[in-house]
Structure 1
Amino acid sequence: MMELTLFVIAAVVVLGILSQWIAWRFRLPAIVIMSLVGLIVGPFLNIFNPHESFGGVFNPLISLAVAIILFEGSLSLDIREIRGFRRSIFRISTIGAFIAWITGSFAAHYLAGLSLDVAFVIGGLFIVTGPTVILPLLRQSKLKERPAAILKWEGIVVDPFGALLALFALQIVFWINEFISGTSLILFFGASLLAALIGAIAGYLLGRLLELGYIPEYLKSPAVLSSVLLVFVLSDMIMHETGLLAVTAMGIVMANMHLTSIRDLIHFKENISVLLISSVFIMLTASLSIETLLEILNWRMFIFVLAMMFIVRPLSIWVSTIGVGLSIQERTLIGWIAPRGIVALTVSGYFAGVLTDSGFEDGDIITALTLALVFATVLAHGFSISWLARKLGLQATEEAGVMIVGGTEFSAVLAEALQSFNKPVIVIDRSWGALNPTRQRGIKTEVGDILSEHTEYHVDLTPYEFLIAATEEDAYNALICQRFVPELGREHIFQTPIHMGDPSDYSKSLGGKMFLEQKYDIHTLNRHVEEGFMIRKTTLTEQYTFEDFLQDDIHKTIPLFAVGKDNNLIFSVIGAKRNFEQGTTIVSLTSPTRKIEKALEKANNTENISKE
């Protein structure tokens, strides 16, 4: 038995991460792949059933995982991020949620055939989207800043309120049917307020302890993680499902205390959340039965799901966002994207059991109804978000953009070369004057420190997948690269070669990958540009291969980057252990003497041909 449980744990973790990798490798929605993998190893092939293997600890494990995921999401909810569209988020999270609750309840009653009491309860639960499904979609789709922020905030803020709203509706139903007294209803509101207060106070106290140095650096992340679990459990003991509200309040308070160690905490929680989201989706879908899946095929459920996707959600968004300044395109996208996920799946099981035990015969339909809505929205929104965002002009870019830090003559030339391939490019420097060469070429610039909070919250960096640190300060370049490793990945971060001291003295874990060969530091590159070095584009053919390029007066040519046939960017051309195929364009910084030699060579060839 122990061996089987260990196997299930290992299998769930491995399959979850493998699903994430497959989604990344083939550019597919991660939540779709995770759901399909869970169904294959669970009800379809019956390889294992996590619910049976874990027994009584299955639901508590899922609940704790959801609490951590929700806290991690709320830890990124800095109020400075939503300057200019706070009204939109407030209206969607309040008026929009209320409209979705009422209209969703009527849809469940008239279309799915649930009694009005049960529909009233489940309608409250179905307003949730949540970080488990929204964050992977945002990571995949690269939306513009405003719609992405609104979807993220709505998903995280509404998530705990959806569970509480369903719990409130349950209390109302019990009160109407005289199962409970009015006192119990008052206690519900008191318990909800107490849970939010516990989370907020715990977040503030923990933040102060971190900031004042009472917790050593190596214990900060473990201390925060254990505190989240404690707050969740304590609140849930006071009243079921209030723990989610407590951890959300805790995360939001800490996010807005502007802690010096907040970024390290976020990165730690992000890593855990990826693991938990992957594992929980596999566990939930693998635990389903064929009978439950067959219930989804009911035509009434199908009609209900369509109504939720095409009527309830768009109606709630379009009505709640009247007069808040959102464009028609933004309202259309936000009105379509509302995938349901882990919270809806886990909490629906609790309500199904309570309602059934209380004599509501249609309570056992809730699980199948939730599954139908989750699978339909995950598939539909997962595959459509990028396409729709592109059609509505709300995708930041389809191209992999480049962010260059350091306003120099070389940066301007490099940026112009990249932009000639329709790549989004931005050059950032702390000095307005240093950006003059870049502005003169019509390249987008930003004055400010890339490490400052002003830049982080006022400059949309979403379109840029590559970073090149090219300032004249080696240590600053390394610091910039280190800062963006978690967001961009070390493979997409470069810095110009170190020009002071021996490069071997520096740790390989610091900074980014070397942009060029060691002899081409930023001072040398700037000097070459001042001497008249120019950009040269060389397209490889069957007759002129990469080997020919390397042997063709390479001492007068500095390869900067390559662009493949599919328009993908490749840096570190010389250091790359690859053989570029024909059709690849190599962009180099070429000596003016080399240009003259090429022109003379071409002229001589033309003259010889004319003599013949």
Structure 2
Amino acid sequence: MSIEPALLLTLMLVIGFFCQWVAWRVRLPAILFLLLAGIVAGPVTGLLRPDKLMGDLLFPVVSLAVAVILFEGSLTLRFHELKGIGHAVRGLVSYGALLALALLAAAAHVIGGLGWELSFLFGALTCVTGPTVIAPMLRTVRPNARIANALRWEGIVIDPIGALFAVLVYEAIASHREGHSLQVFLGTIACGAVTGGIAAFLHGNLLRRHWIPEYLQNFGTLAAVLMTFSLSNAIAHESGLLAVTIMGIALGNMRDVHIDDIMDFKEHLTTLLVSTLFILLAARLDWPLPDGALVAGLAIFAVAQVVIRPLSVFVSTLGSELTWRERALIGWIAPRGIVAASVSALFAIRMEETGMTGADRLVPLVFLMIIGTVVFQSATARPLARWFKVAEPEPRGVLLYGANAVAIEVARALHAIEGLRVVVADDDWHGIRTVRMEGVPTFFGNPASQAADRHLDLAGIGHLLAMSTHRELNSLVSVHYREEFGRDKVFRLRNLSPEESHGRVSLASSLLAPALFAEDMTHDRFDDLLRDGWRVKTTRLSETFDWTAFLARYGSDALPLFGVEPRGDLRIATGPHPLAPRPGWTVIALVPPQAIEASDGA
């Protein structure tokens, strides 16, 4: 069956989107579905033949796409974050990663039959985890905060470091294969490092001095990355990947250079590139696999799962404050992701062109490692966390979107409840700083962004309160977390009254999330009440001082906002379902100023 190239490329985009959507629905890493889709489209059905479809453009397209992916990943590495990630994570991303690299290389050589050069490249590619696969798994496993933070930071920090490992190993192999001396290898490394550093300096200064208008900054950064990659390769063969990695690290750590919008653009672009690239690369797999590759890949995965990862974690976390149960679960979770798949495929293409023996086995072994870790660990990590008793208890906490006066008042009251975790998220720095001074955990940024998927710690969080002044963003965040927490755990504070809302706006709002507190309560009304002297008051009810007594003291106008049951479950007042507090509950209510004065006077 022959399909027009334009239609085939379009189908790749559609299939990539569908895979991302399915991954979002089932809360598994998208890379798994992308690889499976590519295998079905390529080796299984033969509909997609990348070499025939792309021709001579295949290698340049893959190279440029990998360059953008590595640049985006390296932008997330901040040197100041390395200082505060703790002993355990420092070990995991340094000597622990090197130990895993060496052991994986030995396994690839002994079990997979690869030569030592390819074995060390395999080890460099598969010794790292990544935030794009760790974050969905943590949402499913829900380990305690120390485990989640260790795994999250390991993935963030080691992603660009792993890319650097792989590039350096490949540069050494390429220099050796081409008969180059150590001087040529060191020159290649120096060229990549210098070119990347100069590119970061020049582009960073253009951004700092505002010589590039905001609407062109994303375009200009993409052009600068691709030019840096191509120029470095032209100066010194195979130095481009190192150059863009260094450029990303340097640009991400430059002072007074605002790259938040650039990072958002790169995240969206990387999603597009990953979605199409992985389908394309998986479709290039030969089927059946090279002799013994399937059995060898499964055997290497088994050794990595039960021996190499636990051993490297054990060595890395010696002397840390982690318990043996926490170390055991960390030693079980290590899904491989973007760096391993994309870079391995790129290097395999280059090595196959040089006729290197065993190059055709590299990608199948790496892909089997990716699929094995994602599938097996996703299925077993949650039961194991419960067995080790390191799983997070029932998520009762609150993610509050908004850092305005109303949201801060609500966050302050909820944070005062013992055992209730509250995180406030917003991209308003002034508001976030105010909340942070109150001692409430915060996240600076959009909680529905990919940056939030990497950095926002949702351990113990099970509710969303969308209380921003931006109605559209409230809706976006509500949709995002409806699948995360469940429809009955997502709420919003109206920005418009029911009379002001009409038609499609009213209908869409009712579909997204229930309205907080009362049918006629809006953000502006709540803010006006606070300005008029109303206060949010927290009271513990008892048999002698029940809700009726509370109303008698503070007036029938008092509006219950939240109730916390004795066992810690949070109850939230909504328009259709007002609270009926009972003795033993802790009630958070909005009470009028005259009632507060009368109570204080009594």
Give the structure-2-normalised TM-score.
0.70
> Could you report, residue by residue, the CA deviation over 1:391-441 in whole angstroms, capped at 9, with x for unpaired residues?
656666763742345579973798499x79x9743579999xx99xxxxxx
The percent of aligned pairs where both chains have the same amino acid is 31
Change (3 A) 1:416 1:324: closer
| C-alpha distance in structure 2 between counterparts of 1:356 and 1:459, whole Å | 41
Q: Any conservation in 2 of the 1:199–1:248 contact (CA below 8 Å)?
A: yes
| Contact 1:231-1:246 at 8 Å conserved across structures | yes
Which residue is 1:254 aligned to?
Answer: 251
1:190 to 164, 169, 187: 187
Question: 1:148 and 1:6 mapped to 2: Cα distance?
Answer: 39
The secondary structure found in structure 1 opposite 2:439 is strand
Question: For 1:402, what is the secondary structure of its paired residue?
Answer: strand
Alpha-carbon distance in structure 1 between the residues aligned to 2:12 and 2:116: 38
Shift of 1:236: 3.3
Q: Is the 8 A contact 1:413 1:535 kept in 2?
A: no
CA distance in 2, matches of 1:359, 1:531: 73
From 399, 402, 424, the counterpart of 2:398: 402
For 1:517 and 1:65, locate their aligned partners in 2 and report how far apart those are by CA, in whole Å.
50
Q: Which runs of 5+ in 2 are unaligned?
A: 447-451, 483-489, 507-511, 542-555, 582-602
> How many pairs were matched up?
527
2:442 corresponds to 1:446: no
- Distance change (3 Å), C-alpha of 1:486 and 1:336: same
**Which of 377, 380, 390 is the equivalent residue of 2:376?**
380
Distance 1:326 1:6, change over 3 A: farther
Partner of 2:77: 77
Tell me if the contact between 1:29 and 1:136 (Cα under 8 Å) persists in the aligned partners. yes
CA deviation after TM superposition for structure 1 residue 237, in Å: 3.6
Alpha-carbon distance, 1:210 to partner: 1.3
Secondary structure at the aligned position of 1:403 is classed as: strand
In 2: Cα distance, 1:428 partner to 1:340 partner: 29
Aligned positions of 1:164-183 closer than 5 A: 164-169=168-173, 171=175, 174=177, 180-182=179-181
Residues in 2 aligned to 1:97 and 1:395: alpha-carbon distance in whole angstroms: 25
Equivalent in the alignment of 1:34: 34
Letter of the 2:191 partner, please give it: L
Q: Residue 85 of structure 1: CA displacement?
A: 2.2
Structure 2 residue identity aligned to 1:204: F
Q: Which residue of 1 aligns with 2:410?
A: 411
2:381 and 2:425 mapped to 1: Cα distance? 31
SS in 2 for 1:112: coil
Is contact 1:67–1:232 with CA below 8 Å preserved after alignment? yes
Give deviations 1:135-162, integer Å, cap 9, x for gaps: 6545766663333112221123212322
CA distance in 1, matches of 2:346, 2:412: 61
The question of whether the paired residues in 2 share the 8 Å contact of 1:221 and 1:268 is answered with yes
In 1: Cα distance, 2:275 partner to 2:214 partner: 28
What is the match of residue 578 of structure 1? none
CA RMSD of aligned residues (A): 5.0
Pair 589,283 (structure 1): closer, same or farther in 2 beyond 3 Å: farther
For 2:38, the aligned partner's letter is G
- The CA deviation string for residues 453-477 of structure 1, in whole angstroms up to 9 with x for no partner, is 9xx999956655755476xxxxxx5
- For 1:292, the aligned partner's letter is L
What CA distance in whole angstroms lies between the structure 2 residues aligned with 1:158 and 1:487?
A: 35
2-structure distance, mates of 1:86, 1:198: 32
Distance 1:136 1:458 in 2: 12
Q: Which has the larger radius of gyration?
A: 1
TM-score (norm 1): 0.69
Structure 1 residue aligned with 2:100: 100
Who is 1:522 aligned against? 526
Equivalent of residue 210 in structure 1, options 207, 212, 218? 207
Confirm or deny: 8 A CA contact 1:399 1:424 kept in the other structure.
no
For 2:32, the aligned partner's letter is V
Aligned to 2:579: 588
Q: Matched residues in 2 for 1:530 and 1:129: separation?
A: 48
8 Å CA contact retained: 1:426, 1:445 = no
Distance change >3 Å, CA 127–CA 534, structure 1 → 2: closer
| C-alpha distance in 2 between matches for 1:341 and 1:448 | 29
Letter in 2 for 1:203: A
What do residues 291-315 of structure 1 show as CA deviations (whole Å, max 9, x unaligned)? 22775433x4432232223222332
Residue 161 (structure 1) aligns with:
165
Change (3 A) 1:361 1:79: closer
Q: What's the CA shift for 1:54?
A: 1.7
Q: In 2, distance between residues paired with 1:9 and 1:359?
A: 29
Gaps of at least 5 residues in structure 1 are 436-443, 471-476, 537-554, 576-585, 591-612
Residues 1-31 of structure 1 show CA distances to partners (whole Å, capped at 9, x for unaligned) of 9972211221111111111211222333322
Q: Partners in 2 of 1:363 and 1:450 — Cα distance?
A: 44
Q: Is the 8 A contact 2:122 2:362 kept in 1?
A: yes
Residues 104/11 of structure 1: CA separation in 2 closer, same or farther (3 Å cut): same
Q: Deviations over 1:327-383 (max 9, x none)?
A: 545543443333334443454456556666777644443333333323222322344
Matches within 5 A, 1:127-166: 127-130=127-130, 133-134=133-134, 137=137, 144-166=148-170
